[in-house]
């Protein structure tokens, strides 16, 4: 998929500004996000994400689609076991890479100020993946991180009984 002219112009402007002003770590992250955004299919959304929950969910889908286990693992809750997060990233990529590269709908459940359940519907493969994200402080900054504690491939691909088969069936309210 080729970037749209408006996105290309915006990205070129950002790159020029960064080149003229120097590049901080935040600028580099913004550039990576802009590049990822313009090179992936748009994520369809159901429910009520915050800017933070939407941003990290997009990154999860993009890193799965691109097979970037290291980048996916970097989104994990830092309080988790690192080996389990790495194995979970490998499992998610092995199971969902093909579907994550196509049309994806993310349904955001419940209120998202302190944690959020997100169900990913991978339309091309008819797969469903539930993820959990929560806010935390990392290096003094408020960020969202993903719970990645599914080192068993069966657990990584299991669909909870409450998860609907199609987006919107529960009105973005968990039925647990």
DSSP 13-43: HHHHHHHHH---HHHHHHHHHHHHHHTSPPE
What mean pLDDT do residues 127-147 have? 90
- Confidence at 166, pLDDT banded by 50, 70, 90: very high
Same domain assignment for residues 35 and 54? no
pLDDT of 76 reads 96
pLDDT tens, 3-12?
Answer: 555 445 544 5
| pLDDT given at position 32 | 55
Q: Write the pLDDT tens digit of every residue in 10-62.
A: 445 544 444 444 555 555 555 555 555 556 788 999 998 988 999 999 999 99
What is the domain extent for residue 9? Answer: 1-39
Phi (first) and psi of residue 154, to 5 degrees = -65, -40
**Based on the domain organization, do 16 and 87 belong to the same domain?**
no
CA distance 35 to 32: 5
Pairing of the two strands 127-138 and 104-109: unpaired
* Residues 79 and 163 both lie in one domain: yes
Residues 61-104: pLDDT tens digits? 999 999 999 999 999 999 899 999 999 999 999 999 999 999 99
Of residues 22 and 136, more confidence is placed in 136
Token pair listed for 2: 């080729």
Give this prediction's pTM.
Answer: 0.78
29 and 110 housed in the same domain: no
CA atoms within 13 A on the CB side of 163: 18
Tokens of residue 77, six digits: 């809750």
User: Based on the domain organization, do 33 and 59 belong to the same domain?
Assistant: no
For residues 154-160, average pLDDT: 95
Tally of structural domains, the chain: 2
């Amino acid at each position: 998929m080729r970037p749209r002219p408006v996105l290309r112009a915006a990205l070129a402007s950002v790159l020029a500004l960064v080149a003229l002003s120097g590049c901080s770590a935040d600028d580099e992250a913004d550039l990576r996000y802009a590049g990822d955004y313009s090179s992936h299919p748009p994520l369809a959304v159901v429910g009520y994400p915050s800017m933070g929950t939407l941003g990290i969910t997009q990154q999860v889908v993009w890193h799965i689609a691109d097979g970037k286990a290291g980048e996916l693992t970097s989104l994990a809750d830092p309080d988790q076991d690192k080996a389990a997060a790495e194995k979970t990233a490998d499992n998610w990529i092995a199971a969902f890479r093909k579907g994550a590269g196509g049309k994806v709908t993310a349904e955001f459940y419940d209120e998202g100020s302190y944690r959020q359940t997100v169900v990913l519907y991978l339309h091309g493969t008819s797969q469903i993946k539930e993820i959990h994200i929560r806010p935390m402080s990392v290096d003094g900054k408020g960020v969202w991180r993903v719970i990645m504690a599914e080192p068993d491939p069966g657990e990584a691909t299991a669909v909870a009984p409450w998860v609907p088969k199609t987006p919107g069936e529960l009105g973005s309210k968990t039925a647990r």
